Structure formats: C-alpha cells, structure tokens
A and B are shown apart, each in its own frame.
Chain A
Amino acid sequence: MTSALMTSSLTTDVTRESPSPPRFLAGEKVAKPDEGAALAQSEIKISVRDFDFFYGTAKVLHGISLEIPARKVTALIGPSGCGKSTFIRSINRMNDIITDARGKGTILIDGQDVYGSNTDVVELRRRVGMVFQKSNPFPKSIYDNVAYGLRIGGMRNKRQLDDIIERSLTRAALWHEVKDRLHASALALSGGQQQRLCIARALAVDPEILLMDEPASALDPIATSKIEELIYELKDNYTIVIVTHNMQQAARVSDRTAFFMLGRVVEYAETNTIFMNPKEKMTEDYVTGRFG
C-alpha cells in the first residue's frame, strides 16, 4: 500500500541536493540554506509571507513564509509546541476565536488575503475545511452530520442532499460501510469511521482546501492506513495541509514537507528531500529521531 503513496522525484533530488553529512563522521556541515525547488506561480494555492502570530505578548510564529501547492499534500512536522497547529489554524482563521490571539503578515489563498477586511470568514471556512485530531461528529445521525453544513447553507432539496451525501461519504471511503444505516447515530461508529465521517462532512460543502490537524493520531494502524489512503485519493481534487507527529506518515502521504521548530520554518522542500537528504542539520536530527 505504501509504495503507491511515495512520490517519485528521487533521481532529481539526490543529484541536486547537498544534505547534512552523516552523524558518525566528524565532518563539517555541507548544508546550504535553500527553500527547496521553487513552485510555478500557477501551482500555488496558499501563499504565506512573513506571517507572525502572537498569543497575548508571546510571539509563537516568526516570519513564516511558505508557498503551498494546489492539489498536493503538504505535511507540517516538528516537535510539540513548534507552532505547526497554530499555523494550520491561521489558514482558515480558526485562531480568531481565541482571545488575545492575533496574526501579522499575509496569507493569500488564490491571491486573496485571508485576513483582508472584506474576507467573509464563514465563506472562508467553507472553502477551507478542517479535520481535527479527535473526531467530533455531532450527536446526530450519520446523514444529518454530513448534511449539516449544506442545510446551514440553505439547501433543502432532499434529492440534492441525498446526492451530495452519497458522494461525500463515497469520497471519504465510508459509503459502503454506512449506506444501510444512514439514520443511525454517528456516535455508534468506530473511531476510524467517525474520523472519515468528519472528512465526509468537511467535503460535503465542497471545499478547495482541507486542513488536517493530526487526523490519524488517535486511530489504530488499520484505521490510520485507511485515512492515509483517503488522503492520497483526495489530493487529486483538494489541496491538503496535514499536521502530523508521525514522521513515517508524513513521508508516506505528503508531496512536500515543512519542518517547524520554535515557531520558525527550518526547512521546506519535497518530502523525499526532507527524508533522504535534508539540508539542515536540525531537520536531519529531527527526522532521524535525535531529538524531539
């Protein structure tokens, strides 16, 4: 299963990059700072420039600049407290609800400023769906969970709702498991199924971007692999940003990886580069488990 998840730009990467040297040598650092392969302008979905974030007076993100490609999976990795969750929540302004929290700098989605004065936050969150670590289905039926956002959006047509719900559950790889019990309580589903239901709920309102904050960390290995397969399927149609503590998961599912440390992006490059030839010593130490 995992082989299909690996991207294939190995040859170009290994010949181009200058990674940090192996640790058992006493050798000097060869790494050069580099933002990784540049993305073509047309491929960029989310463009972040000099973004800072504060909780009160505490600055937790320092000058984050990242270009996140469309219809690709971008993984954010880093030790606890490095700012990756704060960062992902800044993309759809989930941090707005935290008092005393504020961002500075720009986050553009398709060139439009997320923090611009004329941004409709509700519309933004429709375009940018989010899946959390703990699955959080509403205490309603499976059907009503997926229909929730659509009904809020004013959709009443039963046939239309049925169609979208089937399509969303199918895309979330859950349809075949629940199609005969759509009106049963969502809380009766297993943890992995609940998480896929939350993904279906996010997909129902037809977002362009899916933010996933440790979507599989509370799941067993089989449910995890289902979510990973799903992520792989979804990237054909959605731009996905995933925060994960599981480095092998980042390696398996993502096209690009950003390594965060103390509120800064240490290295951002193709995932193969990060896991085979990282250029920064700090990245090397983190992905090989020497700290973190």
Chain B
Amino acid sequence: MQRHFDRDIEELKHLLLRMGAMVEDAMARSIRALLERDTALANEVIASDDEIDRMEIIIDQKTIELIAIMQPTASDLRFVATIMKITPELERIADLAQDVCERTIELNREPMLKPVSDLPRLAHDAQAMVRDALDAFVRADAVLARRVIAQDDNVDALTESSFRNLLTYMLEDARNISSAIRLTFIGKYFERMADGATNICEMVVYLVEGKNIKHTALAAADE
C-alpha cells in the first residue's frame, strides 16, 4: 500500500540529497581554492554557506513535522532519526569547508610555502569519504558505509604526516611558521570532515540494520 507518508519520506530524502550535493560542491571548491590559491573562489564558497544553513533549517522543520504528525515507527522511525543526525553533520562539513577557505585567503596574502606532500591527498581522501558516505545513505548500503568508516584511520595518518611535514618547515625557518600553522589547521579541518563522513556512515548502518555501532569500544567494555 502506497502511503501518504512515503511521499513525505521521499521529499525529505530529496531535500537531504540536495543539501548533500551543496556540501560536496562546497568541499570540492574549497580544495580547488586551496590548491590553486584562488581567493575569489574561496570567497564564493564562504558566501554560499548561508544557503546550506537555510537547507538545514528547512530539513529540521520538516523532520519535526513528520514526527509530530505521522508518529513514525520501525524503519520509518529509523529513517527520520537518521535524517536528523545526518543533517547537522553535513552542515558542519560545510562550515569546515568555509574554514578551509578562510585560511586559504590568509595564506594567499603570504609567500607560498613549499608543497606539503600529504595535504592534497588528505583533502581528496576526505572528499571521497564524504561522497561515499552520501552514496551509502542514498543506496542504504551498509557494506559501503562500513568501508568508509574503515578509511578514517588512513585519513588520521595523513593528517599526522602532514603535521610532521609542516613541523619540519617551521623548524627550518621561523618565517614559515605563520603559513605552516594555517596549513596545520587546514589538515585538521579535512580530518574532521572525514569524521563527519564516519558519523554519517554509522547512521546508515543504524538505518539499515537497526544496530548502533557508535562507540563500539564502550559497548565492548559494557559486555
């Protein structure tokens, strides 16, 4: 039986995917602005963040309405709960893309530093994780979600190696410190975007399997 509720769910899913596309776009453009030292593009990304924030508010409102009116249960309930948890993750990822752009603008006012070999890889890996996390949600694919979660360690390692690289530059020449610190921040921003992707994937596993796989160390300790 096709329910009125199914249309609401489709609409909500559609809104979230639109927001996801906007966030992916912001992330991609922030990486380009960083790598190409493009201040104008960085400014564009910063300006587009309001639109993403607006989407978050619309989705929040729609979700609360659905709960109040339809009182979802079972997979419907898990779907609505997943949307509620994914939306702020996406919004945070967009904020981090904005932060990358702010640091980029500051960097562009300073002399260019030597390349940090792992930083572009870190950015692209984090980007791939966010993209795959959204794909996992769309396809309700718990296998893909788990694969994305497994990649988080790799991103953490890249963040660490970028930091060591930047530390060497700082030790070599104190004039590098200002730029190197900004780039360290940027590395951290990408790492946190990947964390956001991980959180989204944990919700996808909950959506599909009804299992809460967050904080597994904690659950193991409880047993």
Please indicate whether A and B come from the same complex rather than being unrelated chains: yes
Q: Shortest beta-carbon distance, B205 to chain A, in Å? A: 11
Q: B209 is contacted by which of A30, A247, A283, A288 (Cβ under 8 Å)?
A: A30
A14 and B210 contact, CB distance less than 8 A:
yes
Q: Which residues of B contact A129 (CB under 8 A)?
A: none
Q: Which residues of A contact B208 (CB under 8 A)?
A: 21-22, 25, 27, 30
The winner among A22, A248, A283 for most chain B CB atoms within 10 A is A22
Q: B140 is contacted by which of A21, A247, A251 (Cβ under 8 Å)?
A: A21
Q: How far is the CA of A17 from the CA of B75 in the complex (A)?
A: 13
Q: How far is the CA of A88 from the CA of B111 in the complex (A)?
A: 82
Given contact pairs A278-B74, A290-B1, A24 touches B79 in the complex (Cβ within 8 A): yes
Given contact pairs A11-B212, A18-B210, A21-B140, A291 touches B1 in the complex (Cβ within 8 A): yes
Q: Which residues of B contact A288 (CB under 8 A)?
A: 3, 5, 72-76
A144 within 8 Å of B (CB atoms): no
A20 and B75 contact, CB distance less than 8 A:
yes
B210 and A17 contact, CB distance less than 8 A:
yes
Q: Which residues of B contact A287 (CB under 8 A)?
A: 73-74
* CB within 8 Å of B: which A1-56 residues: 11, 14-15, 17-25, 27, 30
Q: How far is the CA of A20 from the CA of B207 in the complex (A)?
A: 10
B206 within 8 Å of A (CB atoms): yes
A289 and B79 contact, CB distance less than 8 A:
no
A-B contact count (CB 8 A): 77
Q: Shortest beta-carbon distance, A259 to chain B, in Å? A: 11
B75 and A284 contact, CB distance less than 8 A:
yes
Q: A19 is contacted by which of B13, B74, B212 (Cβ under 8 Å)?
A: B74
A275 and B13 contact, CB distance less than 8 A:
no
A155 within 8 Å of B (CB atoms): no
Q: How far is the CA of A25 from the CA of B137 in the complex (A)?
A: 10
Q: Which residue of B lies closest to A17 (CB)?
A: B210
A188 within 8 Å of B (CB atoms): no
Q: Give B184-218 as 1s and 0s: 1 = Cβ < 8 Å from A's Cβ atoms.
A: 00000000000000000000001111111000000
Q: B77 is contacted by which of A17, A24, A247, A275 (Cβ under 8 Å)?
A: A275
Q: Which residues of B contact A25 (CB under 8 A)?
A: 139-140, 208
B9 within 8 Å of A (CB atoms): yes
B78 within 8 Å of A (CB atoms): yes
Q: A14 is contacted by which of B13, B72, B211 (Cβ under 8 Å)?
A: B211
Q: Shortest beta-carbon distance, B37 to chain A, in Å? A: 43
A23 and B77 contact, CB distance less than 8 A:
no
* CB within 8 Å of B: which A259-275 residues: 275
Q: How far is the CA of A247 from the CA of B73 in the complex (A)?
A: 10
Q: Which residues of B contact A27 (CB under 8 A)?
A: 140, 208
Q: B78 is contacted by which of A11, A251, A276, A291 (Cβ under 8 Å)?
A: A276
B5 and A21 contact, CB distance less than 8 A:
no
B112 within 8 Å of A (CB atoms): no
Q: Give B94-121 as 1s and 0s: 1 = Cβ < 8 Å from A's Cβ atoms.
A: 0000000000000000000000000000
Q: How far is the CA of A42 from the CA of B207 in the complex (A)?
A: 36
A244 within 8 Å of B (CB atoms): no
B219 and A19 contact, CB distance less than 8 A:
no
Q: Which residues of A contact B139 (CB under 8 A)?
A: 25
B211 and A22 contact, CB distance less than 8 A:
no
Q: Which residue of B lies closest to A11 (CB)?
A: B212
A290 and B210 contact, CB distance less than 8 A:
no
Q: Which residues of A contact B5 (CB under 8 A)?
A: 288-289
Q: Which residues of B contact A19 (CB under 8 A)?
A: 74-75, 209-210
Q: Which residues of B contact A18 (CB under 8 A)?
A: 209-211
Q: What are 7 A-B pairs at a CB distance below 8 A?
A: A21-B75, A22-B79, A24-B9, A25-B140, A275-B74, A277-B74, A289-B3
6 extra interface residue pairs, beta carbon distance < 8 Å, beyond A14-B210, A30-B209: A17-B211, A20-B74, A275-B74, A276-B78, A277-B74, A288-B73
User: B residues near A, CB below 8 A?
Assistant: 1, 3, 5-6, 9-10, 13, 71-79, 139-140, 206-212, 219
